[in-house]
A and B are shown apart, each in its own frame.
Chain A
């Protein structure tokens, strides 16, 4: 059982994700995480001003519980199932990140430059986190789903719109990393 404490290889993780989608389908639900961001808007009172948020949020209560589970799962994974959570990315990726100023590449789980407590007082880190999060939320709702809703659920159901969305995800991601990163780091 020692493997459980090591980073999980793709051939464990991929089937696990398929299992999670299967279980959600078999309890009459679906696998789509970004819907929760809309539900959170409604819970914050957005339905009083914008029609898009007027819906029966209680029908999405189950999904918020899945989110709660995802938080607990992260806690368990980090604290009880990992001895040394260092992400062993490719040496070329590490070298490249070092040249961009990410000294923590290859030594931590997340870049300390963005996800250490110091990020709260570093204006550049804050702007990156704020802009990144905003684009994720805006884009996911505009596209009607995110990685789980389109790349996993939608493509598994052979939906053309999901394929278009996933192509979009990659155009955006590649543009950010290859063209915009060199400008901001």
Chain B
């Protein structure tokens, strides 16, 4: 049953990414040229409602659908890893025009060369794992 719910949430996510064109390389390029409000509207409105819903869950101690307490773990403190990692991610995001969610949506949509991006992203993750201890964090 839970598996079905995860699958349905994923399908909803995939449809949203495709239909909103957030999965389109063109939209990412346009966003970084500040020539459209589209992507900023998507992220901005998602954030506004996201902040609101998390505040409500915290304030009223809302439990999950399964009756468990909901915890929001804080991200580890630091600057370098977020800044350098973020810059590296941004360079790739603009070049490949896809981030780790939409790249799978694009695969389903039939843009097969995205497989090259997915495999390289897995490889990039692996290389990070190998050098993790030698990188500034």
- Taking Cβ atoms with an 8 Å cutoff, the residues of A that contact B are 4, 7-29, 33-34, 36-38, 40-41, 44, 46, 50, 52-53, 62-63, 65-79, 81-82, 87, 89-90, 92-93, 96-97, 105-106, 109-111, 114-117, 119-120, 125-126, 128-148, 150-162, 164-178, 180
**Most chain B CB neighbours (cut-off 10 Å) among A130, A133, A135, A176:** A133
Bound CA–CA A8/B89 (angstroms): 26
Query: Nearest chain-A residue to B112 (Cβ)?
Result: A117
The A contact surface, by secondary structure, is: helix
Given A66-B9, A134-B124, are A78 and B18 also a contact pair (CB < 8 Å)?
A: yes
Establish whether residues B54 and A77, one from each chain, have CB atoms under 8 Å apart when the complex forms. no
Given A105-B26, A119-B113, A142-B135, are A70 and B89 also a contact pair (CB < 8 Å)?
A: no
Establish whether residues A134 and B120, one from each chain, have CB atoms under 8 Å apart when the complex forms. yes
**Most chain B CB neighbours (cut-off 10 Å) among A67, A92, A150:** A67
Establish whether residues B14 and A133, one from each chain, have CB atoms under 8 Å apart when the complex forms. no
Query: Nearest chain-B residue to A128 (Cβ)?
Result: B95
Establish whether residues A142 and B81, one from each chain, have CB atoms under 8 Å apart when the complex forms. yes
Contacts of A136 in B (CB 8 A): 89, 92-93, 96, 98-100, 103, 117, 120-121, 124
Contacts of A105 in B (CB 8 A): 26
Contact with A along B24-58 (1 / 0, CB 8 A): 11111111110111111111111111110110010
Query: Nearest chain-A residue to B69 (Cβ)?
Result: A28
Which of A34, A73, A111, A166 is B26 in contact with, Cβ under 8 Å?
A111
Establish whether residues B65 and A73, one from each chain, have CB atoms under 8 Å apart when the complex forms. no
- Nearest chain A CB to B122 CB, angstrom units: 5
Establish whether residues A50 and B99, one from each chain, have CB atoms under 8 Å apart when the complex forms. no
Taking residues whose C-beta sits less than 8 angstroms from the other chain, chain B's interface range is 35 or more
Establish whether residues B108 and A141, one from each chain, have CB atoms under 8 Å apart when the complex forms. no
- Nearest chain A CB to B27 CB, angstrom units: 6
- Taking Cβ atoms with an 8 Å cutoff, the residues of B that contact A are 2-3, 5-33, 35-51, 53-54, 57, 64-66, 68, 70, 72, 74-79, 81-114, 116-130, 132, 135
Which of B5, B25, B46, B124 is A152 in contact with, Cβ under 8 Å?
B46
Which of A7, A73, A87, A132 is B108 in contact with, Cβ under 8 Å?
A73
- Nearest chain B CB to A158 CB, angstrom units: 7
Bound CA–CA A142/B82 (angstroms): 7
14 additional A-B residue pairs with CB within 8 Å, beyond A73-B14, A133-B118, A160-B75: A13-B42, A18-B46, A21-B50, A25-B57, A25-B70, A34-B99, A41-B129, A44-B122, A66-B6, A70-B13, A129-B113, A136-B99, A157-B54, A168-B87
